[in-house]
Amino acid sequence: MKKMLFIFNPRSGKAQIKNKLMEILDIFAKSGYELIVHVTQGPRDATQAAATLGKSVDLVVCSGGDGTLNETINGLMELEKIPILGYIPAGSTNDFATSLKISRNMITAAQTVVSGVPYPIDIGCFCRERHFVYIAAFGAFTEVAYLTSQDFKNVLGHQAYFMEGMKSLTSIKSYVLRVECDSVVLEGDFIFGMITNTISVGGFKGLVAQDVALNDGEFEVLLIRTPKTPLDFTNIINYMFLKEEPNEYVHKLRTSCIKIFPEEPIDWVLDGEFGGSRREVEIFNLKKQIKILRNPQKKQ
Ligand SMILES: Nc1ncnc2c1ncn2[C@@H]1O[C@H](COP(=O)(O)OP(=O)(O)OP(=O)(O)O)[C@@H](O)[C@H]1O
C-alpha cells in the first residue's frame, strides 16, 4: 500500500479545513493511500513532522497557508530522498498556490493531489540555513506578513494585510546596503527588496512578471531605492502598479545567486514568515529541487 503523510495546520486562514477534513481524508483513502495524519501544534511543527515522518512515505501532502508550505518544505529539504509533495491551500493569501494554479477549493486541490502530475520547482536557499519557496524580502510592507496576528487574520482574512499595510506606509525605513548580483554591484539607500519565484506576491499579481518560470534556476529580484522627493515616489508607484519602464529608483534583475550586505542588520521575511535579522545575506537558487503535484492540464 502507498503511504502518505498528511500535515495540516488547523488554524490556517479561517480554520477552513474544519468542515472539509473528512472529505479530504476520504479522497486520499479511496486512492489507496495508507495515511499518517499530523496536526500541527505551532511554529516549526510541520518542519519536524516532514523531516522525521517524511522518510518513510511515498507522498507528503500539506495543507495550510504559505507558512505551513514553507515549514513543510524546510523539513523535506533535510531528507536524503525527497518525496513528492502535494499541497492543499488553506491560508489567507496563498501566493504560491496561485503561481502553481492549484485550486483554492480544498476538495478540488485534494483531487489534484491524487490525480496530478509532479512538477519540479526551484527552492531558495537562504544563508545556507533555511529554505523558501517563493519569496525572500526585506523592507517596506514586509513586516505586515508576520506582524499581522493569526487571530486577526482568521477573522478578516486577506483584508487584515491591507489594514496593516496601510499602517506601515507611515513609517517606511531606509537601509544602507551593498548588493552583489552576478557582475552587478549596487550601493546606496533602499526601502525594499524582494527575491521571488512566483507570479503573485501578497495576493497581488501586478507586482511581479507573469511569465516567470518556477523552475528555470533563476529568481526575479526587485530592489527599490529610497525616494527623496514626491516625484521619486510617483516614479516608483508608476513602475510598480502602472507597469512603466524601470527607472533609477527601481532595479530589476534575474539571477541564480545574490548577496546583500547592509550596514545594520535587516529583518527578512521568508514566504510570509519572519526569517531573522541579518547582517550578511546570501541567497541562491536550488533548481528543480522539489516535485509538487498539480493539475496536468494547467500550463505554466
Ligand atoms: N496549531 C497551531 N496554532 C497556531 N499556529 C500554528 C499552529 N500550527 C502551525 N502554526 C503556525 O502558523 C503559521 C502560519 O500558518 P499558515 O501560513 O499555514 O496560515 P496563515 O498565516 O493563515 O496563511 P497565510 O500565510 O497564507 O496568510 C505557521 O508558519 C506555523 O508556524
Report how far residue 249's alpha carbon sits from residue 256's, in angstroms, rounded to the nearest whole number: 22
Ligand 1 centroid to residue 162 C-alpha, Å: 18
Q: Which residue CA neighbors atom 27 of ligand 1 most closely?
A: 92
Report how far residue 164's alpha carbon sits from residue 166's, in angstroms, rounded to the nearest whole number: 5
Give me the domains of the chain, ranges plus CATH numbers.
Answer: 2-123+289-294 (3.40.50.10330), 132-287 (2.60.200.40)
As given in the structure block, the three cell numbers for residue 172 are 517606511
Ligand 1 touching residue 153 (CB < 6 A): yes
Q: Active-site residue 34, yes or no?
A: no
| pLDDT tens by residue, 110-138 | 999 999 999 999 999 999 999 999 889 89
Catalytic residue among 71, 143, 220, 273: 273
Question: Above pLDDT 90, what percent of the chain?
Answer: 56
| pTM: predicted TM-score of the whole model, two decimal places | 0.86
Ligand 1 touching residue 66 (CB < 6 A): yes
Is residue 109 pLDDT above 70, yes or no? yes
Burial of 211 (0-12, 13-18, 19+ CB in 10 A): exposed
Ligand 1 touching residue 295 (CB < 6 A): no
| pLDDT tens by residue, 243-279 | 666 667 788 889 999 999 999 999 998 988 889 999 9
pLDDT at 95: 76
